[in-house]
Amino acid sequence: MKKVILTLIAFTFFSCQQKADNSLHLYSQIEICRKELEKDVDAENEIIKYAFEESRELKERFKKHIRSVNLIANSSRHIGNADRDKILNTRDSLNKSLGINLNLAPRLSYKKIDDSIFKKTIEIDFLRLRKHYQEKYILPFLPKEIGL
């Protein structure tokens, strides 16, 4: 009987350790993806800033779109302070109201994941929203001299 109990305890311990290793690997892969996406968004942002520095008229024309990009960026900064439902509501409402129509993971897929992985995946969602908004409403309308 003792052997069975010890075997079950050992099996449980090693299963938990393997699960923790898998979560750590997943977290590091998500972090790599987030950093790459953040670099892409920042590069696009620099192109937009350069175009606006070159032309004041262009900056005035895109004022509404600049506010929308800033709204997405500011919303993503409050991820750590809010509950999951509020964050998901914000993400979904920005996606719908700004006309981005990006395919995002459904709410149910976030129910059972770890908090740290949830925060990173939501950061990725907000970066994707920002990137797609810039690519849809700003970048195609910049002058060709910018080098896009």
Query: What is the per-residue pLDDT across 17-55, written as a single tens digit (0 to 9) for each?
Result: 666 667 788 888 999 999 999 999 999 999 999 999 988
46-to-107, 121, 128 alpha-carbon distances in Å: 33, 24, 17
pLDDT tens, 104-146?
989 888 888 888 888 999 999 999 999 999 999 999 988 877 6
Q: What is the pTM of this model?
A: 0.82
Q: What is the pLDDT of residues 90-114, one digit of tens each?
A: 999 999 999 999 999 898 888 888 8
What is the DSSP-derived secondary structure letter of residue 113?
Answer: S
Are 133 and 102 spatial neighbours (Cβ–Cβ below 8 Å)? no
